[in-house]
Structure formats: C-alpha cells, structure tokens
Amino acid sequence: MSTPGDVARQVMWNRLISVVEEQAQALVRTAFSTSVREAGDLSAGVYDDRGLMMAQAVTGTPGHVNAMAESVGHFIRRIGRENMFEGDVYITNNPWEGTGHLHDITVVTPAFRQGRLVGFFACTAHVVDVGGRGFGADGASVYEEGIHIPIMKLAERGTMNATLIAMVRGNVREADQVVGDIHALATCNGIGLRRLAEMMDEFAMADLSDIAAYIFENSRRATLERIAALPRESAASEMVIDGFATPITLRVALEVRQDRILCDFAGTSGTDPRGINVPLVYTKAYACYALKCAVAPEIPNNAASLAPFEVTAPEHSIVNAVHPAPVALRHVIGHMIPDAVFGALDLILPGVVPAEGAGSLCNFQVSLRPVVAGQGARAEVLTFNSGGAGARPAFDGLNATAFPSGVMTMPIEATEHTGPVIIWRKELRPDSAGAGQYRGGLGQVMEVGAAEGYQFDFSAMFDRVGHPARGRRGGAGGAPTTIARSDGTAMQGKGRQAVPPGKRVLLAFPGGGGYGDPEARDKALIRRDLARGYISAEAAQADYGMGADEVGEVLDAVARGEWTE
Amino acid sequence: MTGSRVRLGVDIGGTFTDVVLDMPSGMVSTKVLTTHGAPEDGILVGLKQVCAKADIEPGAIDQIIHGTTLATNALIERRGAKTALITTEGFRDVIEMRTESRFEQYDLNLVLPEPLLPRQSRFTVAGRIDAQGRELVPMDRGEIAAVVDAIAAAGYRSVAVGLIHSYLNPEHERLVREVLAERLPEASVSLSSDVSPQMREYERFNTTVANAYIKPLMHSYLMRLKGRLAEEGTGCPVFLMHSGGGIISLESAAEFPVRLVESGPAGGAVFAADLARRHRLDRVLSFDMGGTTAKICLIRGGTPKTARVFEVARSYRFKKGSGMPISIPVIDMVEIGAGGGSLAHTDALRQIRVGPESAGSEPGPACYGRGGERPAVTDADLVLGKLDPAEFAGGSFTLDRAASEQALTAYLGDAIGGDAETLAFGVAEVVDETMANAARVHAVENGEDLADYTMIAFGGAAPLHAARLCEKLGIARMLVPQGAGVGSAIGFLKAPFSFEATRSVYMRLSAFDGGAVRDLLTDLQAEATAFVRTCDAEAPIEAEFKAHMRYAGQGWEVPVILSPEDAADPDPERLRALFEDVYARLFDRTVEGMDVEVTVWAVDARTPVAAIEPVCPCPEGGIARADGTRALFDQAQGRRNSAAILRRETLEPGQGADGPAVITEAETTVIVPASRRARALPDGTIELTPKEDRA
C-alpha cells in the first residue's frame, strides 16, 4: 500500500541516485588521467553510517561494484569511528581492501550532520601509474607492482596530508597526473557531501536510517522475487583461457536456491606466478554483475540487491589470490568471469545469455623514452580498447564494444596529446566475428608506434590468443588475438616487451562467438555484412554458403552505390 | 535590429508552424499545421494570415527570422542525402565504433544506433598530421583522385571530409576539397576543420558527417523558401536561428545546416532570456514543458548558457550516450522525456516511472477519449484538479476524468495500491522529481546553485508543474509570461546576430606567448565581426573573448571570460587568477602546483540584443475576484484543498491571490499551490512567490 510517505521516500531514493551521478560527473570533469576523464574508469557511491552501499553511479566499471561496496567497511574498521571528524578524507589503493589492484585509488569521505556521522561517500579511479615495474603483468609479487597506500587519512579536519602527497609524488611516474587525480577524487566526494546536505535540509532528515531501510527492503524484495522465479537447479561449466605462461581453467558451479544464487569457483586454476591474479572482491564483482544482467538487470546496485548473490572461491586459486600475490592485471582474468558464469547459467536458463566474447578489455600501456637520453621527455600512455562481444539469442554481437567492462576508449587524438605515441590504425577487423544465425561482434585492429626520436616498451595485457571466444548453439568461434612487430617478429600476449626505434606493433583484437547455426542466418543480413565489409567474399562463401555469383552481385552493387544501409 | 521595422518570426515544429509578425504597433501571431512535404508552403499560409490580420502587404515585411526542427528531424528520421566520408587511412570506422562502450550497463540485448553512414560509404586516404599539427605523412593527389572517382561512380551527392588532427592543421582536408572540386564539382562538401575544428575525432567526424548528410536537403529547402517568398513579393532578407541562440544568414545556414539543430528550443531560451532582462533578473531557470519533452536551460545575466557539444537523436529512453554527439555551439539545455503526454508505468521495484514513451496527440492521454488506455501525466493532472475537464485547450473538447481514474487504477493500482488520487499524486510527484533532478544535475554540471534563481515557465504543460518544481528546487520566484504558446517564434525576433569564431591553439601559461595570443584574438574578432556585418550593415558589434582553460593534463576545460583589456594585453598571471576563480566556484578547491593551459580561444561577435522595455515595479493591486472554487490536490501537503479559480484575462496589474488557486486561460492553467501566492505584473506576466516572503 502506497502512502504519501512512501512517495517521499521514492523521491529521496531517486535523489540519492542523482547525487551519486553528480559525484561521478565531478570526477570526470576534474580528473587528469585519460583512463578517468576520457574512458570513465571510475565509480562513485553513497553509504549509510554502517558502511552499507545505498546507491551507486552507473559508470564504466562493474568491477568496482561489490569491491567498492565492501571497501567502506574496511575503512570504518581501520580508521575507527572515534577517529572520524568533519573535513576528513580517507584513501587507499590496497588491492584486497580497495578494488583489486594498486592502480585503483579509493577515496572515502565521512558525511556529518550536526556533528553526527550519518554516512559515507566513496569513489574509485584507475590512475596512470603507481611506480614499481609499471602497469603490466611482470611482477612476481605485489611489492613489485608499485607504491602501496594502506588505509589512512588523506586529509584530517580539512588539512591535506602533505607527507602522503610527497611520498606519492616521489614514487610514481607522471606525478602530476596521479596527484591531480587524487585531488579529483576528493573533489568528487566533496560534491556528494554538498548535495547530500541540501537533500537532508529539504526533506528535514536527521539521518539516513529511514531511507536506507526503505531502499534495502524494496531492493531485497524485488531481487528475491526474480530469484524465486528461476528454476531451482544446479549446473557447472568450464572455460579455458590463455593465462601468462600456462593456460588457466575457470570452473563455475551455480546453484539456484529459493532466496539466493550460489556461485562457486572450486576447480579453478591456482594462483599464477605473474600479475594476473584476482583478489576475491573483484571476482565477486564480475560474477555478480553477470548474474545481475541475466536475472535482475533493472534493480539498482546496493547492499541489499547484491546480497542474494553469494560468490565463493578457494583461497590461492587465481580468482581468490592472497597477499602478496601479484595482481596488477587482475582485470584480464576478471573480465573473463562473466563468460565463465554464463556457460553455467545457460544450462539453467537457456536462451538468455550471449555466446562468449572478447571478454577482457584489450588494453596496453606504452612507456616511451627518447632514443638519445636527454633529448625529450619520458611518457606513460595507457589505452583501453575492445574486441567483439558475443552474439545474443536474438541479436548480433556488438562490434568493438566492451563487455563486461563498460569503459570507453580514449579518442586517439587525446591519447596522442599525452605523449610521443602515434596510433596509426584503429578500425574494425573484418572476418573476426564468429559466424552464426546471429553473428558475433567484430574485433578491431590497431597499429602503434613512437614519434621520431623515441622508442618504447610495450606492455601487453591481452587474452584469447590461444583460446578464442566459443560460439553457442552451433555458432562458430570468434577470431583469436594476434600481436606482432611490424618487422614480423612475434610478440607475447602478456608482458612488457621492447620495441626497437622505427618499429611498430600490429594488433588484432578478438571477435565474439556466434549464436545458432550459420545456415539459419537471414540472407539479407549476410549480404549486408558483405556489402559493409564485415565479412569478406571468401567468408561469405565458406561460412555462410553464399554463391560466387551472389557475392559478385553484392560487390558490384556496392561499387555502383546501390547499397545504402 | 531596430524596433521600427516589420519583422516576421517563423518556427517550424513537428506539428505546428508558428508565425509571429512584429510591428511597431504590436504583435500578431498564428499557428498553422506544418506541411512536411514542402515546409515553405506552411510558412506562406501563416504569413498571409498574419499579414491579413495586421492589414499589411507581404512586401512590407523587412526581415524574416526562421527556426526549424527540419534539420533535427532529418537526422532523427535518417532522411538525409546519399553521403560519403573521406577519412584518414586506418580510421574508417571511427563513427561506427563510437566510444566502444554501452550506454546501458545491464541490458544484455542492447542495440547500438547505426552510424549515419554505413561502412561502405566511408573511404580512406593515406596521409597523416601529428598532435602538434605537423605533417607526418604527405597526401598523394593521385590517390585522392582515385577515391573521388569511386565516390563519383557510386553516385554520392554529398561528401564529408574528416582527417585526424585536422583541427590543428587543415591543409590535408583542403587538398581533398580541391580534388573534389576538380573531379566532382556538383557534390556538396563539408570539411571537419570548417564545421567543427575541435579535438576528439569521433565527435568531430560525426558532426561533419551530420552536416554533410543534411546539407543538400536543407540547402534545397532554404533556396526554395527564398524563391517562394520572392514570388510572393517578400524579397526581404531571411535569417536563421542557430542552435547557439544567435542568428546567421540563410547562405551560411545552407553551408552549415548542422548549426540549425534544436533551433526551435533555442528560440524558447531566447524568449525566456528576453523576459529575464525585462524583469532585470540575473539568474533564471527556463522551464519549457510541452507534450513530449521538457527543456531546462540556465540563463545568467540575460544570456542563456551555451555549450560546445550536443547529443541528437537519443535512441534509448533519452539516455545519455544513446544518440549522436554534435559539437557545435549550442544553448546548453537538458531535454528529458517528460511532457503532458508522457505515460506512467511501474518497474520491477513496483515503483512508478513516467516516460519517455508518450501518448502524443493520437491516441493521447486516457482522458482525451480517443482510444488512449494508459495513464499519462495529463491524466494525473486532471485527477488532482489541476485541469478543468470543460476548459482544456480553450474548451475545444471535454476531458474524461473517469477515464483517467480508470487508467491510473488499471495500470498502476496492482503494483502500487491506493486509490486513483493517490496514484495520480505518485505520477505527478515522480515526473516533477524527474524534472527537478534534471535541473539539479544540469545546475551542478554548470557549478550553479539554484536557490537564488527565478524560474520562467512556458509551453503548454509547464505552468501546471512549475510551482511544484520551485518547491522542490528551493526556488522562490516564478514567472509565467504571456505568449507562451508561440514562445520560440517570439524568441527569434529577440535574438541578436552573432557568430562565434574559435581556434584550437594549445598554450601552457608557463610558456605563454602574449603577442601570439593578442594576434590570434584580433584575427578571431575580425573573422567573427566580418561575418556578423554581412547580416546587419549598421548595428554596432560587440565582442566577447573567451579562453577555455584547464590544469595541464586534464581533459575538460572551463570557459573563462576575458575582458577587452585582457584580450588586448594578455597576461598569464591574470589568466591563471581568472581560471582559478572559476574553477574554485565549480569544484570548491584548486590544485596547487599545477600548470594551467588554454586549449581553445573564442571570440563571440554579436549585435546588441533587442532593446528592452523594463517592467516597472508594480504596486499591490488588491485581491483578485475568484470565479468559483474547485478541489485541488496539493503535492507538498499531500492532501486536497479548495482552490479559488481566477481568469487570467480579468486580472489587473498588481492583483493577486493566495494559493491554493488556479489561474485559467485558453492555452494553459497556472497552478498556485498552498505555499505560494500569485499576482499579475504590468506586462501580463503572472508571478508566483512564497507566501511568507510577501513584502
């Protein structure tokens, strides 16, 4: 039964969501790293006084969802409520108490009302460098991966911690960008505080307990309704991916119960010697994201809507790495988790989840330096790129679009302003999509070099080199990742590799798997794909059985300008 | 732009073409149906009507100012010309790959909008400019010729040219234009370095492609219009309202038609800005709510806020990111799917949601009795007593309250519970909160605090909801102007001639070259002024200087206004101080020890805005006589009251009434909640203020 009081609470809930959206927007506007300001690798949320997440901005990073949600609890425990004051700002980049690797800095700000602690704002962003070996897979322990900032105060009663800032400045490459981003994170929470105070004035709220209870009760009920409607079954599935030196098996067992879904990773490979291990918080985030997309997509993220998804993994497995395992590239494995979860979920809930896709973002970092020492500055340039997504039960996969990550790519014009790097090519990769009744998404090709007078090390962060995306229900697999130097020298999918002056790196990112039998594909769509050059004449004939005459007709029509779609 | 001439304002909308004739003796207006096949026909019908009403010959019109949704609609409906893109080798798919992200994170079946041009219409040529504007790889004329020949063979009518880093160095794009002129002279050509010389290839290329795509259509329409007007004896100059709220020549509009996107709503913002100046209001929130969408815009110092990127044709519930970015100077508005026809439903959380789906005019809200079964905002307004069923749209038809109640109960009752009135209350609160949130986010993005703003409400549905928005936003004063129904067309007549010349020249304050900046600003001023001079041979021309600045390493700039003195003698310390002042206002802090850089320099030249007649302070005129009472639900109090009914046309200046009250007129109703009082001002504007603030 709806009452005027419930209407007011619904309004307050929407307001909180708009407060965190504003908070996130302030971070984008003031950030320095292209990863934050162009690509949106950030998150922002508001918490009640117990540290339970009430609302989260919809930004590019599902990986931060649970991770940041749990993080605030660690801050409360480590700082202690009695040591929290108005004007304080807290910080960490601890992979296990933050969001999974040292490159993510989390900032938490307590919110006070009339001297009383009423809640918290938290935000997280990926910074361009934290020192150590540089962003890449090469560390043998987290100690090699950069500076660690344990949970501590970034500001106390309004005064910035100058010692910490000096320590950060002294330990990172691109110090201006990193310190600038730390300021931006504090600004972001500050905007949240401003708006929350206005909201509490308007609705004459003394604290957040009533609205928190309303949000949690409604979200829990809605999520449980969705889960209760599922078949009460169990299923398990495996997916093998590249890893660093040896392939990795991700094994997922799902069990749907009346009031929860259990997701367990027993049987998954152990911790890897290199920096591709995943702290459990990050595993939980992506497993939970996959389940939520399929089961309860429109219910906002908060402590209650996330609680019914229980994710477990054995300690020392690659998806529950323990300190001091190296974790810098936890995303490469973490982004594969949704495909692994979908494999099992498809057995319980057929016709809902997509085929496998590129999964991991196709990121790389280049470390540039002048060929002659002293003639030019060093620079660190990070880019985010995407392969193709898996085909869906009733739609083609998305071309060169991130899934499960939701970050944006950086404009290459912005990237080239951050250092002497030249992006020579960045476009769709024909014939990379798995054939099917519904085609996978196309991957993309890139070509990267240094400006004249510079050379670079290339830190690769790619998977699906030896284990491309698999199709579903008769759909074909996507094309694998390839990487090589312009002189023909082969390169590895992961790790830091030197590129001599004048040479470029040629990259082809993977396509998504197809869904359903290619023979069932709509003929008009096959002709359209050929006209657009998504598939070559050879592929049209080999994968879809198009006749040579028809291929010729389509290509002639394109040349005459008769294909307009 | 003098007041003694006869001028015609024309706004072509999706349904109606509004025509306003402005003469020294007063204004005459009409609304005629838009004639989609040949929009100029509708204009001529309207023109003849107003001329007849005013008893003048069409030849007596001195100037026509025109705004239109035709450009926007051609983009939304994909009705443009057969267009090709020539771009840098290696970057064929920039407009298709977009940002490589999904604008809706949790929808596994998300479909991205198709790019304006399919892949086979995008051609590449070798050649490369670097991030400093230097040539890395030269272009080969022969290779360009081969591409142009292929384009010619395929019969493309319009060609967009977008090359990497051309905003820094346009030479390669110009070479392509030369070859096009030689080998395909009949094609219409758009260069990205002309249309939108800004960094970020996706936005720039997309804007250029959009321009090329609608150019043949808009060029042909504008030339036909000019011809038809001349045939009818109206040979006067025709100008176009652009999306930035200024006016450009018909020829310039035909060259850069993408600048006409959203020119109608821009006219509405100019209309509100004019009222703001007449009432001497420094900070105004304009709120324009029609049948399908609501538009919100900030107006400071009598000038609407502007921005440099706009998103057109949002395909997914108006969601940010689901449309196409167009980077042109625009009046910075948020448009959300919340209008009188917006439909209410419930979501998985059993909460009420409103819009963006709209009932339109057919079938319309349930109360129209034209077959609409689902509850719309208008149905909620009717049940709450905001509308009189017998007097909607000037009494042209009667609204069916029982149908509204039935629709609310049938579609929302199961999930929400409660009677029709409680459900209507929920719908009204949700739509008002949605609009208030949009206004709030928009204010934050602009670093503004709405508490000291005045709201100006126009468009048919706005006066029903505006006072509740004011309560939610903490806005004290609200104005409902006269002529709100044809606000955009009136706005066209109030707009100055203007042109913004911009140049991307990166400069750090630590390596500042004052002489170069002075020369650059002088050039930009000359360019912008010369352009405005072609529109108006006599009027004085003012210039505003702007530097878009940021901490070196940031990606987003804040605009910093420079005085003419600053422009004549640019000083880095002064620029830093101006920047940090703006930055601290927006974000509460500055960043110590960081270098500051300028990315874009701009000069906006404009004729002075139309002279205004300030509205005199108005003495209290007593209590207006009520024409009966009706029950009116008050959303702030959560209960029903008895409200006085006032007729707008009978109100004398100064007369007013305490809420709860409703003020009725043919086109709309002004709702005065219990917290407010209303009175009429000398210019016919209705003013609402909180009761406790009564002086």
Q: What is the pLDDT of residues B360-412, one digit of tens each?
A: 666 788 998 888 899 999 999 999 999 988 877 666 678 999 999 999 999 99
For residue range B234-279, what is the model confidence (pLDDT) as tens digits? 989 899 999 988 888 898 899 999 999 888 889 999 999 989 998 9
Domain boundaries, chain A: 4-219, 354-521
Do B235 and B172 lie in one domain? The reply is no
Contacts of A197 in chain B (CB under 8 A): none
So what's the pLDDT on residue A5?
Answer: 66
Q: Would you say residue B437 lies in a domain?
A: yes
Average pLDDT over residues B438-450: 73
Any idea which of A366-375, A383-392, B28-37, B81-90 has the lowest mean pLDDT? B28-37
pLDDT at A65 over 70: no
For residue range A116-160, what is the model confidence (pLDDT) as tens digits? 999 999 999 999 899 999 999 999 999 999 999 999 999 999 999
How far apart CA B288 and CA B459 sit, in angstroms, is: 5
Domain edge (last residue) among B575, B606, B637: B606
- pLDDT range class, residue B141, cuts 50, 70, 90: very high
Q: Which amino acid is at A226?
A: R
In total, how many domains does chain B have?
Answer: 5
Do B502 and B567 lie in one domain? The reply is yes
Any idea which of A203-207, A258-262, A472-476, B281-285 has the lowest mean pLDDT? A203-207
Chain B CA closest to residue A290: B106
Which residue in A37, A426, A451 is closest to B556 by CB distance? A37
Average pLDDT over residues B587-603: 87
Average pLDDT over residues A261-272: 98
Percent of chain A with pLDDT over 70: 98
**Mean residue pLDDT across chain B:** 89
Residues B165/B205, Cβ–Cβ less than 8 Å: no
So what's the pLDDT on residue A60?
Answer: 61
Instruction: Please answer yes or no on whether B200 and A10 come within 8 Å at the CB atom.
Output: no
CATH of the domain at B557: 3.30.1490
Q: Which amino acid is at A44?
A: A
**Most confidently predicted of A272-281, B305-314, B384-393:** A272-281
SS3 assignment, position A238: strand
By the 10 Å C-beta count (0-12 exposed, 13-18 middle, 19+ buried), B662 is classed as: buried
Test the A interface: residue of B82, B107, B108, B199 with most A CBs within 10 Å: B108
Interhelix angle for A337-348 vs A280-295, to 10°? 40
Average pLDDT over residues A469-475: 98
The complex scores an ipTM of 0.93
pLDDT at B320 over 80: no
A40 or B529, greater pLDDT: B529
- pLDDT range class, residue A2, cuts 50, 70, 90: very low
So what's the pLDDT on residue A7?
Answer: 65
B635 or B73, greater pLDDT: B635
Test the B interface: residue of A38, A61, A413 with most B CBs within 10 Å: A413
| A–B interface: beta-carbon pairs under 8 A | 234
How far apart CA B310 and CA B26 sit, in angstroms, is: 35
Do B450 and B327 lie in one domain? The reply is yes
Is B107 part of the contact surface with chain A (CB cutoff 8 Å)? yes
Any idea which of A314-318, A471-475, B314-318, B613-617 has the lowest mean pLDDT? B314-318
Q: Would you say residue B614 lies in a domain?
A: no
- pLDDT range class, residue B27, cuts 50, 70, 90: confident
For residue range A483-500, what is the model confidence (pLDDT) as tens digits? 999 999 999 999 999 999
Which residue in A398, A412, A422 is closest to B112 by CB distance? A398
Q: Would you say residue B30 lies in a domain?
A: yes
Residue numbers of the domain that contains B172: 76-218
- pLDDT range class, residue B447, cuts 50, 70, 90: low
Do B183 and B154 lie in one domain? The reply is yes
So what's the pLDDT on residue B308?
Answer: 76
Q: Which helix (H) or strand (E) holds B224?
A: helix B201-231
For residue range A157-210, what is the model confidence (pLDDT) as tens digits? 999 999 999 999 999 998 999 999 999 999 999 989 988 998 898 788 999 999
So what's the pLDDT on residue B437?
Answer: 83
Domain edge (last residue) among B232, B255, B278: B255
Do B505 and B583 lie in one domain? The reply is yes
A251's tokens: 């094994």
pLDDT at B155 over 50: yes
Which residue in B105, B348, B638 is closest to A4 by CB distance? B638
Distance from CA of A220 to the nearest CA of B (A): 10
Do B83 and B183 lie in one domain? The reply is yes
B22's tokens: 């402005």
Percent of chain B with pLDDT over 90: 55
Q: Would you say residue B680 lies in a domain?
A: no
Q: Would you say residue B576 lies in a domain?
A: yes
So what's the pLDDT on residue B693?
Answer: 54
Q: Which helix (H) or strand (E) holds B513?
A: none
Q: Would you say residue B660 lies in a domain?
A: no
pLDDT at B563 over 50: yes
So what's the pLDDT on residue B593?
Answer: 82
For residue range A540-565, what is the model confidence (pLDDT) as tens digits? 999 999 999 999 999 999 999 998 88
Do B166 and B269 lie in one domain? The reply is no
So what's the pLDDT on residue B71?
Answer: 87
So what's the pLDDT on residue B1?
Answer: 43
Closest CA to B350 of B410, B416, B434, B413: B416
- pLDDT range class, residue B499, cuts 50, 70, 90: confident
pLDDT at B8 over 70: yes
Instruction: Please answer yes or no on whether B119 and A428 come within 8 Å at the CB atom.
Output: yes
So what's the pLDDT on residue B306?
Answer: 81
Which residue in A384, A392, A402 is closest to B109 by CB distance? A392
B83's tokens: 């267009």
Do B405 and B441 lie in one domain? The reply is no
Average pLDDT over residues B171-195: 97
- pLDDT range class, residue A64, cuts 50, 70, 90: confident
- pLDDT range class, residue B444, cuts 50, 70, 90: low
Closest CA to A98 of A131, A72, A129, A80: A72
Do B358 and B458 lie in one domain? The reply is no
**Most confidently predicted of A55-64, A246-255, B61-70:** A246-255
CATH of the domain at B237: 3.30.420.40
Do B532 and B559 lie in one domain? The reply is yes
Instruction: Please answer yes or no on whether B348 and A426 come within 8 Å at the CB atom.
Output: no
Average pLDDT over residues A2-21: 74
How far apart CA A254 and CA A243 sit, in angstroms, is: 23
Q: Would you say residue B646 lies in a domain?
A: no
For residue range A326-383, what is the model confidence (pLDDT) as tens digits? 999 999 999 999 999 999 999 999 999 999 999 999 999 999 999 999 999 999 999 9
Do B516 and B575 lie in one domain? The reply is yes
Q: Residues with Cβ < 8 Å from B110, sequence gap 6 or more?
A: A398, B102, B103, B104, B316
Is A447 part of the contact surface with chain B (CB cutoff 8 Å)? yes
Distance from CA of A7 to the nearest CA of B (A): 6
Domain edge (last residue) among B583, B606, B629: B606
Do B67 and B107 lie in one domain? The reply is no
So what's the pLDDT on residue A221?
Answer: 94
Which residues 312-341 of A are in CB contact (within 8 Å) with B? none
Which residue in B110, B155, B474 is closest to A202 by CB distance? B474
- pLDDT range class, residue B318, cuts 50, 70, 90: low
How far apart CA B470 and CA B460 sit, in angstroms, is: 17
Q: Residues with Cβ < 8 Å from A408, sequence gap 6 or more?
A: A38, A39, A40, A60, A384, A402, B99, B100, B101
